[in-house]
Structure 1
Amino acid sequence: MNAILHKDFLFCVSDNEARSTLLDLRSGLEKGVTAPYLGPGLVALTAGEVSVPASPEAVAAALNIKAPAPSRIRTNMWSVAQYIEQRRHRNTLKAWMAEIFAAAPKPSALHRWLATLPLPLIVDSWYDGAMRAALKESDRQDFISIQGITRAGEVRDIWTRVYRADDAACDDAVTAQARTVLYEPHGGARPAGNFLVADSDYVEVLTEIDIQTPIPDSVKERRATLGFFFLGCRFHDQMLRTYARQILKRSKGPHYAVMDAASLSRNERRFLAENGITLIDMPLDDAVAILAQESMGAAAATEQPVRIS
């Protein structure tokens, strides 16, 4: 069925219409006209194997074990990280984040399927690196990853670093050769432990993001022909909404998100409605099963990969 949620005019599909929409999105992913935007919720799909935090709140809890923060900020990852940076130094925060995300990434069936597709752009908004691991496991050499970096200690006008499939850092110019750009806006545990996590990491980014300076040119170019499909994401924090809004900017659309309609906060409903994102009201694991299991044998044949050097 279709529904409009509240006065925010959020378009929502559920039941048979949700399944039909997912099948259309599966086709869009296979054709390379839809870009997946992946969030921490996908970590929980590896049932019984979860070894890294699956939400910002879980990261905050892990950091609190190492250095208890004041109760008023204890559940806010960005504030807890800032508290640690101010009292224990940035290097301590980086080391602890590396420990928290030290476990080898565990790509899900969805990650592995996406890795077989000729997607122009994939956005992975979590630190664990499961999507990158899936691309590497597929023996693809035709992708590059672009990670957001903290500007702490930087004297250059730099916002991101670029890595080839072999983990070697490279110049921005190589992105033109890549079939797939994996954009990790908040950084990643691998290959170099780049973490945007403390409030201070985002001060300059949020100052500039409205004029798109921190967004890589390759992302701006590729999104112009794409719609975004949010999987495993929540938007209950202003930081998450700001980043997603700016990455969506000037993209072609349409946009979709798999989320539980009953659990949406007022701010999440408003964010989805204002950005024209259709809500697919379905449990994430059910949606992933439809996408990955039905798609494994139906993925379109791809050309021979081009090695990026």
Structure 2
Amino acid sequence: MSALLADVSDLSFANAEDTLPRLADGLRAGQVVPYLGPQLLSSDNPDLPSTPEALAKFLESKVALPARARGNVWAAAQYIESTRHRATVTTLMAEAFSVPAKPSGLHRMLASLNLPLIVDSWYDGAMRSALQATQGWGEIQGITRAGIGEDQWYRFYDRSGEETEAAAAAGWKTILYKPNGGIVPARNFLITDADYVEVLTEIDIQTPIPDMVKDRRSDRGFVFLGCRFHDQLLRTYARQIMKRSTGPHYAILDPADTLTRNEVRFLAAQEIVPISASVDTAAEIMLEVA
């Protein structure tokens, strides 16, 4: 924990043993929205990229990148799109996530709770796979607007993976919201700088966020699981998706990670209470309660 606490003197950490059971109760009551990040994949899916940096490294292994694009997944994808066309980006992303993601115990627990809303910010299909054991849910995915000739920001998919309409989605008990798209069911990926420039011009007024997501977040808090906020884009998306929700908000942070100064400022500014625990430890405690 010392490495984590070295840069977080301005933050007050909640006690994991006391707070995580209460969070599990809040999830079970439908009052907490889980916001899932890529680090949920790390232990159960070693063959899949579980950080933006790992995904950037994968892209670099496939295409020679200039120095300015190395290590930054969005810049890397933008360079590939600019030099080799969008189809190459989609093909490489599909290859990176070609191994079907195995749901963890935490994924399965969340799936069993009939939650009104689950936000999944990474590209894998683990949460969708876990939800297959249940009924009455569907998915909303953010989409790239590159070359589609449509004035829309997202698409709706039912449990079987078929595209559907907003009218059908309104009746879902659980909405799985993937703002950055995902490998399944339709290989939608927001990944390039250009993708996000377009979204970020509108996201402050919330246009790219579906109305039913706004409705379901309004009287709830968020818990961030497997997330980091060391990149401005990650912080912007988290801030905009939790906007106008009532709170309280929590983030489960791995004690092995050292937070950046920007992460500390973000957590403080958004009044997100940090909990120092690995994802596996947090899942174990919450599963005992649930």
- Return 5+ residue gaps in structure 2 as ranges: none
Aligned letter for 1:107? P
User: Are 1:285 and 2:257 an aligned pair?
Assistant: no
Contact 2:7 2:258 in 1 (8 A): no
Q: 2:27 aligns with which of 17, 26, 29?
A: 29
Q: CA offsets per residue over residues 162-182 of structure 1, 9 Å max, x none?
A: 000011100012222010010
User: 1:189-216 CA distances to partner (integer Å, 9 max, x unpaired)?
Assistant: 0000000001011111000000000000
Match of 1:263 in 2: 258
User: Which residue in the other structure is 2:113 paired with?
Assistant: 117
Query: Is 1:92 paired with 2:80?
Result: no
Secondary structure (helix, strand or coil) at the match of 1:257 reads: strand
The alpha carbon displacement at 1:72 in A equals: 3.0
Q: Deviations over 1:271-308 (max 9, x none)?
A: 1110010000122221111112x14xx4xxxxxxxxxx
1:194 is aligned with what amino acid? N
Q: CA–CA distance in 2 between the matches of 1:172 and 1:51?
A: 35
Of stretches 4-13 and 107-116 in structure 1, the one that deviates more from structure 2 is: 4-13
Paired position in structure 1 for 2:127: 131
| 2:198 matched residue in structure 1 | 204
Equivalent position to 2:269, from 265, 274, 278 = 274
Q: Verify the 8 A CA contact 2:7 2:261 in the aligned structure 1.
A: no
- Tell me if the contact between 2:12 and 2:274 (Cα under 8 Å) persists in the aligned partners: yes
1:83-112 C-alpha deviation (Å, 9 max, x unpaired): 100111000110111011011121001001
SS of the equivalent of 1:162 reads: strand
2:69 and 2:11 map into 1 onto residues whose CA distance is: 31
Name the counterpart of 1:251.
Answer: 245
Q: Alpha-carbon deviations, 1:131-184, whole Å to 9, x = none?
A: 011001x1x230110000000013222000100001110001222201001000
Opposite residue 97 of structure 1, the aligned amino acid is M
Match of 2:47 in 1: 51
TM-score, length basis structure 1: 0.89
Deviation per CA, 1:237-271: give whole Å up to 9, x if none.
00100000000100011000011466110000011
The equivalent of 2:165 in structure 1 is 171
Alpha-carbon distance in 1 for matches of 2:168, 2:9? 42
**Unpaired runs of 5+ in structure 1?**
299-309
- How high is the sequence identity, in percent, across the aligned residues? 54
Aligned length: 285
By how many angstroms is 1:8 displaced? Answer: 7.9
Structure 2: distance between partners of 1:212 and 1:143: 23
Conserved? CA contact 1:257–1:277, under 8 Å: yes
1:83 alignment partner in structure 2: 79
Aligned AA (1:119):
L
Q: Which residue, out of 190, 196, 217, partners 1:223?
A: 217
| 2:265 aligned partner, one-letter code | R
Give, in whole Å, the separation in 1 of the partners of 2:16 and 2:61.
40
Matches within 5 A, 1:226-241: 226-241=220-235
Deviation per CA, 1:114-144, whole angstroms, max 9, x where unpaired? 11002100000000111011001x1x23011
Query: Contact 1:148–1:186 (CA<8 Å) still a contact in 2?
Result: yes
Report the Cα distance in structure 2 between the residues aligned to 1:11 and 1:149, rounded to whole angstroms.
37
| Structure-2 separation of matches of 1:264 and 1:30 | 30
Q: Deviations over 1:28-55 (max 9, x none)?
A: 0011100100000010121xx4221001
**2:8, 2:264 within 8 Å by CA — same for their partners in 1?**
no
* RMSD (Å), alpha carbons: 1.6
Say whether the 8 Å CA contact 2:144–2:189 is kept in structure 1. yes
Which amino acid counterpart does residue 248 of structure 1 have in structure 2? M
Q: TM-score, normalised by structure 2?
A: 0.95
